[in-house]
Amino acid sequence: MSHELTYQIFRYVAENLVLLNKADRKNGNSDELNRMMVTFDEMTMGQIMAGFPDLCGIPHQLLPMFLVSEIDQLVCIPYIDAVESYGLPADTCPVPSSECGALVINALPDMGSGFISSSMPCDGSTMASSYFSRRFPNIPVFHLCFPVRYLDEETVQMGAEDIKACIKWIEERTGAKWSWEHYFECMKRFNQETDLELNKWEINKSSRPQLIGPSYELFRKWNYEMDGGIDPRVLPSMKKVDKMLMKAYENGETAWPERKMKHRAIVWSCPAHYYANFSNWLANCWGIDVLVEMESLNFTKHLETEDKEEALRDLARLYERMVMRRHTNGGYQNVVDECWAQCEAWNAKLVIMYQNVACKNMATVQGILDEQGRARGYDLIWIEHDLMDPRTVSRRTMRDKVNEYMRTVMKAEPVDPSLVEFEDEVCM
């Protein structure tokens, strides 16, 4: 199952790397391709491009910077050092820092007929958009500015008007026309993919979870944010995974051997990019089974596929809940109250509480989460990391926090002692 899901991501990456190289004005310099290409911020969702079947939408920083940092823990260090040498404070989130650093050393492609940005998770992301405008003054930028308090339905129409303005901007920039027929076709497919995702959740909430490990969360983020029903090849693959998942569940199988199924856990807050397979180590070393990660728990409402005005409102609701905005920028109730609701829903007493040392939003609620967690009887393992810079907090240091907590607080023994300590500071 993990291989099938991961393949969908790798195929997307491989195909789009070709397009990036062909379109880059420093490389392939294809005018024809650039006229039909719209780039967007890596956290800005891609569903709006479903209405433009003749255009190609690509997240600008995703492939050169974001995804590779999941594979090679050292890849973003030159970007971070470059922008900090220009005076950027070192406590800025490493995601926008890496984006800006890549722009500073000219590592991102010069491509597309326009760039779509968003009022993304934090001030650092806003800064990254301004860096893009300065580095590529030849590329017009449209800023999607959605309200953060997305539970207030009075904000939805404002978001829908922003969507309308963006559609008009794309039409003016490219000459393409919005197609409701194609958009509805893609969103019907996306709704089916959402149902299949929800079925994974229901199985993992049971006593026999079937899909555990990083590919589960990585696929959900990619499918929710980048694909969004646009590629028709993804749905058959998800149906294949669903069939395997249900067969294993009905046969009474488990994701890991019984001896490794000791602790049910969820992940809360943003995970470290330089340790994407941390959940595999948790399971193999301590028998901690991560049932779901916070960034997977996004918008699951079926999108409207008939009424055009309501479809725009639903698209606004979706974009208001894009990755990172759904919880870390969604207000107290969506990051604190939601955590305890998810612990109960997934029957998990253990929370892997990531602490991005540069994330000011999550830092404001750390004490509240600690206090309420103790009162509710949950075990919270706080694991510091610096998202894309392993020099601040190494992967070994992250493991040490778990080792210490499991031994001293949980009084537990590792299921595989050979994995408690090992060297990996310079490996990919």
For residue 189, the tally of other CB atoms under 10 A from its CB is 21
Quote the pLDDT of residue 425: 67
| HEC-encoded secondary structure of 291-322 | EEEHHHCCCCCCCCCCCHHHHHHHHHHHHHCC
Residue 227 has pLDDT above 60, yes or no: yes
Quote the pLDDT of residue 121: 55
Residue 271 has pLDDT above 50, yes or no: yes
| pLDDT average, residue stretch 335-348 | 94
Quick one: what percent of the chain has pLDDT higher than 70? 96
Classified as helix, coil or strand, 23 is helix
How far is residue 28's CA from residue 418's CA, in Å, rounded to a whole number?
49
Quote the pLDDT of residue 427: 57
How far is residue 37's CA from residue 29's CA, in Å, rounded to a whole number?
12
Quote the pLDDT of residue 161: 95
Structure tokens, 416: 């595989």
Residue 175 has pLDDT above 50, yes or no: yes
- Per-residue CA distances from 88 to 73, 76, 128, 254, 266 (Å): 21, 15, 11, 47, 34
Residue 253 has pLDDT above 60, yes or no: yes
Structure tokens, 381: 């393992």
Quote the pLDDT of residue 212: 87
Quote the pLDDT of residue 118: 78
Return phi, psi of residue 413, to 5°. Answer: -115, 140
CB of 200 within 8 A of CB of 2? no
Read off the pLDDT of residues 343-363 as tens digits, 9 standing for 90 and up: 999 999 999 999 988 887 787
Quote the pLDDT of residue 197: 96
The mean of the pLDDT values for the chain is 90
Residue 404 has pLDDT above 50, yes or no: yes
Residue 428 has pLDDT above 50, yes or no: no
CA 234 to chain centre: 18
At position 366, the amino acid (one-letter code) is Q
| pLDDT average, residue stretch 12-35 | 91
Helix 308-320, helix 180-205: angle, nearest 10: 50
Q: What is the pTM of this model?
A: 0.93
Question: Where does the pLDDT of residue 198 fall: very low under 50, low under 70, confident under 90, or very high at 90 and above?
Answer: very high
Show Cβ contacts of residue 34 under 8 Å, excluding neighbours closer than 6 positions.
Answer: 23, 25, 111, 112, 113
Residue 243 has pLDDT above 50, yes or no: yes
Domains of the chain: 2-176 (3.40.50.11890)
Quote the pLDDT of residue 69: 86
| pLDDT average, residue stretch 145-171 | 89
- Buried/exposed 175-187: b ≥16 CB within 10 Å, e otherwise: ebebeeeebbbbb
Residue 168 has pLDDT above 80, yes or no: yes
Residue 298 has pLDDT above 70, yes or no: yes
Quote the pLDDT of residue 123: 66
How far is residue 253's CA from residue 2's CA, in Å, rounded to a whole number?
16
CB of 322 within 8 A of CB of 41? no
